[in-house]
Each structure stands twice: as structure tokens, then as C-alpha cells.
Chain A
Amino acid sequence: AQSVTQLGSHVSVSEGALVLLRCNYSSSVPPYLFWYVQYPNQGLQLLLKYTSAATLVKGINGFEAEFKKSETSFHLTKPSAHMSDAAEYFCAVSDGTSGSRLTFGEGTQLTVNP
């Protein structure tokens, strides 16, 4: 079984500040890890994914995440927050096979203050 835990259901940062959204996973097989973003009244859009290659993964909109096996973590960061980053962020895990389920964390609502 696989699961993810997102620490902090709400994160608030100032524009220009560092964004750090935390995600820890549990998996009995080597995991494939994802971060998705959901803007209001829209579907989920892939930010980035880890698929057992480089442990530091760069995604869209300046986001990146680092896979740390020893800490079972896959935290999402962005050096400088922009107002347009305000959204719901979901960490997810799968076993990477077609037909496998993508299991999501409970989401983190990011607020960016001017």
C-alpha cells in the first residue's frame, strides 16, 4: 500500500518569499512521486514528477522538489513566491505502472500575501 502525508493544510507566504510545501510518503516499492496544482474551479495540472532518475526534479513555474529516500520526503519549493502561485497543491504517489492508482495527499492551500 502507498500513502502520502502533506504537513500543513494551509501555508501562507509573502510575495517574494520562499515557498516550502512538505510531503512525506510511504511505499513498499520504489515510488513514483508527483506534485499537482489545482487552481480554483479547474482540474489538476502536473507541476513535476520523480520517476527514479535525478533526485532533484525541476518543474513548471519555477518549482522544484527533492526526493530524499532516507527521510521518505518529497518537499516542494520555489525560491520566490508570486501572487499567481496561490492554489491548492497535491502530492501524490504511485508504483509507476500503467493501470496503477495515483494516491493523493490531502492537499495544501497556498496563500500568497502582497
Chain B
Amino acid sequence: DTAVSQTPKYLVTQMGNDKSIKCEQNLGHDTMYWYKQDSKKFLKIMFSYNNKELIINETVPNRFSPKSPDKAHLNLHINSLELGDSAVYFCASTTTGKGGELFFGEGSRLTVL
């Protein structure tokens, strides 16, 4: 009965590969996010979708492509992985009435070798 679930939890891959991370929430929320946490624990927003529509698109390399097939799912595909992409990627969700409070998944730790 996990509220926000991400897969995979760990991902180790070589430079130049393409990989995807999936996120699903069963909270009935209408807004989902991807955040990146770097090695210094700093959290930076990458993307946000509201009812499948992209509403926040930060300055992120276009090798990163989010997709939201429905409001309960948000995936992140990364092409041509680079060493600097190594980080923990967090999915989060919220909805109207939560005052901006986000509910986070447990994170997906990506290591690029």
C-alpha cells in the first residue's frame, strides 16, 4: 500500500546508455514531480505535471524526457547518460488543498560509471 513508489530503487549503468525510472502514486493526487538530489544532498526540481500536462520544466538537459501517461504515473527517461547524472531522483506528488505539501517516494539512486 505504498503511497508513492519508484522503480528501480538502484540503477548502475555505463556512460552513454539510456535508462528509465518509473513512478506511481495511489493517493489520487493530480500533480507529480521529479526532483534531483545531488551528492551534497541539495534537492532541485526538474519537472512537474498536472493532470498529464507539463507545468514546470526547469533548465534540464534535453537528454531528460519526462512522460505522464496518466495522472497517477510519471516516468523519467534519460538518454546518453553522463557521469554528472549520478544522483538520487525523487518522485513526489500533491493535489489541491494540500497547501503545496509534497509526498515523496523513496528515491532511485542512479550511478553512472
Contacts and interface: CB of A to CB of B under 8 A. Distances in A.
B31 A99 contact: yes
Contact of A44 (B55, B98, B104): B104
Nearest to B10: A41
A13 B98 CA distance: 33
A45 B97 CA distance: 18
B99 to A, nearest CB: 4
Interface string B32-48: 01000000111101001
Interface residues of B, number: 29
A36 B103 CA distance: 10
B41 A96 contact: no
Contact of A42 (B55, B100, B106): B106
A8 B105 CA distance: 26
B100 A96 contact: yes
Contacts of A43: 4, 90, 104-107
Contacts of B59: none
A99 B107 CA distance: 20
Given A88-B41, A107-B41, A100 B107 contact: no
A96 B99 CA distance: 4
Contacts of A103: 45
Interface string B69-113: 000000000000000000000101011111111111111000000
Interface of A: 32, 34, 36, 38, 41-46, 49, 51, 88, 90, 94-104, 106-107, 109
30 contacts: A32-B99, A34-B101, A36-B104, A38-B41, A41-B107, A42-B106, A42-B107, A43-B4, A43-B107, A46-B103, A49-B101, A51-B99, A94-B100, A98-B30, A98-B97, A98-B100, A99-B48, A99-B50, A99-B55, A100-B100, A102-B33, A102-B100, A102-B102, A103-B45, A104-B42, A104-B43, A106-B42, A107-B41, A107-B43, A109-B41
A-B CB proximity, top 6 nearest: A94-B100, A43-B104, A98-B96, A51-B99, A104-B43, A43-B106
